[in-house]
Amino acid sequence: MKKTLVSALTTALVIGAASTTFAAAQNPFQDVPADHWAYDAVDQLAKDGVVTGYGDGTYKGQKQITRYEMAVMVARAMANNKGVTVSGNDKALLDKLAAEFGDELNNLGVRVTNLEKNADKVKWTGEARYRYWSYRDEGKDKKNIDHVSFRLFPTAEINDNWSVKARLTSNFHMDQDDSDNTKLSYIFAEGNYGSFNVKAGKMPFYSTNDDGLVMDDFFSGVQATVGNKVKLTAEAGRWNINEDANAKVKDGAEADTASYQGVQLNAEQGKLTGGLGYRHFSSEVFKKAKGYKANKDDADILSVGARYTFDKNWAVAGAYAENTDAKDYKKSGSAEIDYKGANKANKGSFGALVAYRHLGSNASLMPTFDTAHALFAPYNTLNEKGWDFSASYVPMKNTLTTLGYFNGKQFANHDKKAETLYARVSFFF
């Protein structure tokens, strides 16, 4: 009914009342595409009696309509000329139509400001997060850290296929009462065309197959993914090697930038998901890395991983990664058992995991774990192996709490004991 519903729509009104406006506008007779969401919106409004057709209440004809014809319908609904009260979902649909056809409505004399036109195209979400670490590694001074992050995630709709996404981040340490300037962690444009997705800008690494064992950070470049059940992803660009990414352990190497290329193949079959990946980095920093081959400025990292979900309560996962250009600390692995899962939208939901981690600094360049490898460690805590425990609970909607504990050894430091306590509270909005 999409095309027939609004077909002949008030042609007399368009020709008569709006003819002078058409003459002044650029390309006034542009059609609304047949698959445009506005047809469904008008269909729903018609069913609810908000939008009407000709005087006899019918819609006639089979043709696609123009943007100006659609704007006339929206204008009539906004004028509420039949005394229908518009509220709830109908009001939201009408506001969205008014934003979409704001230029045409302005030309018809119905004022829609730029703010009104674009308000529904920009959405903001956010997170306020507190994290606590207590590092109790043998041979090192105990270190406690209180850290707060505030994140904002704007998403701007460009059109039916493209959007822009970003993250603004501010950090500070409560125990030091310091402050940090807000920074733009990432920003990228994303296009979706069915089974094809493309991104350009600064964006997160694609890390599906190894579940963050190798890389949980951002790079500047392009990324393309094709497929549904089987997905192929290719990405390339540059990665900023900073202190968070093991610069401290690379024999005093200073921050640098590495060129990057990567490809991953992932598949889903029933309860089983998995894949493999290859990442190539090139930088002078690697020549100074501890446990590296002489004069090698490359990092070629192969990874493989899989997850099997038994039911709604239990799942197992494993991942392995190896840097073929390193001679030591070149392997990383993780084996994990998950129970349930905390969903921030569901009050009372909870989850727990137990895992064994082995993290070599030349394979796990920037892993995602908060205990076995921690972002703000006083000494870089990679090159550790041991048991990782974690439990999460949602005490109220959009509030997530987590407790974690790691107990293991520093295999690059005479197998001395490594121990970390971790706590987190996140508020989402």
CB count, 10 Å around CB of 236? Answer: 15
Q: Return the ∠ at Cα 291 (arms to 287 and 295), rounded to 5°.
A: 25
Q: What whole-number distance in Å separates Cα of residue 199 and Cα of residue 57? A: 46
Residue 88 to residue 7: CA distance in whole angstroms: 26
Candidates 206, 205, 277; CA nearest to 245 is 205
Cβ-contact 370, 131 below 8 angstroms: yes
pLDDT of residue 232: 97
CB 381 within 8 A of CB 244: no
- Give the C-alpha separation, 98 to 180, whole Å: 41
List CB contacts of 426: < 8 A, sequence separation 6 or more: 127, 128, 129, 130, 344, 399, 400, 401
Specify the CATH number of the domain 121-428: 2.40.160.10
Distance CA 91, CA 86 (A): 5
What is the DSSP annotation of 140-182?
Answer: S--EEEEEEEEEEEEEEE-SSSEEEEEEEEEEEETTTT-----
Report whether 125 contacts 404 (CB < 8 A).
Answer: no
DSSP state of 116: H
Q: Is 115 helix (H, G, I), strand (E, B) or coil?
A: helix
Question: Which residue in 2, 3, 12, 1 sits closest to 64, CA to CA?
Answer: 3
Contact 423, 131 (CB under 8 A): yes
**Could you write out the three-class secondary structure of 42-66?**
HHHHHHCCCCCCCCCCCCCCCCCCE
Give yes or no for a contact between 363 and 214, defined as CB atoms under 8 angstroms apart: yes
Cβ–Cβ under 8 Å, residues 272 and 177: no
pLDDT digits (tens, 9 = 90+) for 204-241: 999 888 889 999 899 999 999 999 899 999 999 999 88
The per-residue pLDDT for 136 is 87
**Tokens 């992803």 label which residue?**
233
- The residue behind tokens 């004399």 is 109
Q: What is the pLDDT along the chain (429 residues), one digit of tens a residue?
A: 444 334 433 333 333 333 333 333 344 446 777 667 887 777 777 777 776 654 444 444 445 677 877 877 787 777 664 455 566 677 777 888 888 887 777 777 665 554 455 556 788 999 999 999 998 888 888 888 888 999 999 999 888 899 999 999 998 877 677 666 788 999 999 999 989 999 999 999 998 888 899 998 999 999 999 998 999 999 999 998 864 444 443 444 445 789 999 999 999 999 999 999 999 999 888 877 777 877 788 999 999 999 999 998 999 999 999 999 998 899 999 999 999 999 888 899 999 999 999 999 889 988 888 888 644 333 345 789 999 999 999 999 999 999 999 999 988 888 899 899 999 999 999
Per-domain residue ranges for the chain?
A: 2-112, 121-428
Among residues 239, 320, 313, 322, which one has the least CA distance to residue 281? 239
Cβ neighbours, 10 Å, residue 290: 17
Phi, psi of 99 (to 5 degrees): -70, -45
The encoded tokens of residue 127 equal: 């997170």
Please give the DSSP secondary-structure letter assigned to residue 295: T
